[in-house]
Copies of this chain bind each other. A is one copy, B any other.
Amino acid sequence: MPTTDNFRIEDTDVPQLNDGEVLVRTLYLSVDPYMRSRMNDRKSYVPPFKLNEPIVGGAVGEVVESRSPSFTKGDIVTGMLSWRLYSAAKAEELHKIDPKIAPITTALNILGIPGLTAYFGLLDICNPQPDETVVVSGAAGAVGTAVCQIAKIKGCRVVGIAGSDDKNAYLKNELQVDATINYKTEDVRQALANACPKGVDVYFDNVGGDVSDAALLLINKGARISICGQISMYNLERMDVGLRPQPLLLVNSAMMKGFIVIDYAPRFAEGVTQLGKWLAAGKLKYAENIVEGFENAPRAFLGLFAGENLGKQLVKVAE
């Protein structure tokens, strides 16, 4: 488990622009569980961060200077940016945001990577059908809240697993999730069996470990399991040992697939369009948890592993 001692803040000059680049003043930083994987010096879906270099992650900013015809001063943009107050970014690696459509933070949440992760990870991998039972772990996170709502839109019975009663109250009262489980205070295997009298057809896995074992033990014939994250594993020193799922997949002809949202990059436009329609129609809600101050980004990141966030965890760097 990292600590704030693993981070430091350095003063540097505002970068000079080359042709085709844009100077972006950082407004919001996204902190995400997957970033933990980039802090290990081993193969994962993205290369490791470099020591003594800034963290890189999703961000929203304002163009303050442009040497690209694609952007002008005042544009609000999103992209993968260094954790800096000002970044020089290549124009082709930025996307313009229209603040009139939705608050700009949605570009890091329901209309950004978390929303797309939920959209493709649930619909493409699991193809949920009306009346099927969909179980979502990490249900109160940015991805989880989107998955729960998309499953409801598809007519499923949705069971959310999260780590506090407040989160579960939000899932039930605001997102109309059918049943919830607090994995910190309940016997997850028993509670999930009670919440899924017809078994589990779809399991959207953000967490891994014992919580996932409980879902796997209940899968039905033809179940689909989307492996989106394994946050319970990210701070382990070695690979985890636990229930082998293969025999359960075998006897149920069930399918389990890992993914990273970038696999679906060619279809992002489709996803954002659909998510935007649902958002405009009031069918999707989103939650955000905003920590103020650039210097608090490490603390906000570490808070993900303590389950502090309801919805998307963001760091507000500037107005």
Contacts and interface: CB of A to CB of B under 8 A. Distances in A.
Among A45, A245, A260, residue most surrounded by chain B Cβ atoms (within 10 Å): A245
Contacts of A13: none
Contacts of A251: 37, 43-45, 258
Contact of A230 (B228, B241, B247, B259): B247
B244 A208 contact: yes
A241 B244 contact: yes
Nearest to A233: B247
A252 interface: yes
B244 A242 contact: yes
Contacts of A230: 246-247, 250
Given A250-B229, A258-B253, A242 B241 contact: yes
Contact of A239 (B45, B247, B256): B247
Interface in A142-177: none
Contacts of A263: 253
Given A241-B242, A245-B245, A250 B45 contact: yes
Nearest to A240: B244
Given A251-B37, A257-B254, A239 B246 contact: no
A66 interface: no
A254 B45 CA distance: 11
Given A254-B257, A257-B256, A227 B240 contact: no
Interface size class of A (residues with CB under 8 A): 35 or more
Contacts of A249: 227, 256-258
A201 interface: no
Contacts of A239: 243-244, 247
Nearest to A216: B246
Contacts of A62: none
Contacts of A253: 45, 257-260, 263
Contacts of A243: 239-241, 244
A255 interface: yes
A205 interface: yes
Contact of A257 (B44, B244, B247, B255): B255
Contacts of A313: none
A117 interface: no
Interface string A40-81: 000111000000000000000000000000000000000000
Interface of A: 37, 43-45, 205, 208-209, 212, 227-230, 233, 239-260, 263
